[in-house]
Amino acid sequence: GIQVEQSPPDLILQEGANSTLRCNFSDSVNNLQWFHQNPWGQLINLFYIPSGTKQNGRLSATTVATERYSLLYISSSQTTDSGVYFCAVGGYGGSQGNLIFGKGTKLSVKP
């Protein structure tokens, strides 16, 4: 099956700093989503981005499908950005569209 690797596993930032999170995947995908898991466990949809570039406020994401990676950019980070960021992909051979998750990047933003 598809392998999903996220880096870095942990990231500590000072408030106001920018960061880039990376997601590599091992095969062609028809779905790629970025999530933020809040302290209560809720997965918040950030981007649905199997290819291309999207922006939403201080967050943006780019997926280069041909090179099998995606990047999540966080600018002017705030303490509320803290949490775990997951990349998840769905492959063409997957069972009815299920997602395969990376291990996540744990982001801590210090005031």
Partner 1 sequence: GAVVSQHPSRVICKSGTSVKIECRSLDFQATTMFWYRQFPKKSLMLMATSNEGSKATYEQGVEKDKFLINHASLTLSTLTVTSAHPEDSSFYICSARDPATLVWVHEQFFGPGTRLTVL
Q: Compute the half-sphere exposure of residue 77: CA atoms within 13 Å on the CB side of its CA.
A: 22
Of the two residues 53 and 98, which places its CB atom closer to partner 1 in the complex? 98
Least distance to partner 1, CB of residue 36, Å: 11
Burial 69-87, CB ≥16 within 10 A → b, else e: bbbbebeebeeebbbbbbb
The residues binding partner 1 (CB under 8 A) are: 30-31, 33, 35, 40-43, 45, 48, 50, 86, 88, 90, 95-104
Of the two residues 3 and 18, which places its CB atom closer to partner 1 in the complex? 3
- Rounded to whole angstroms, the Cα distance separating 53 from 69 reads 12
Least distance to partner 1, CB of residue 39, Å: 12
Of the two residues 66 and 95, which places its CB atom closer to partner 1 in the complex? 95
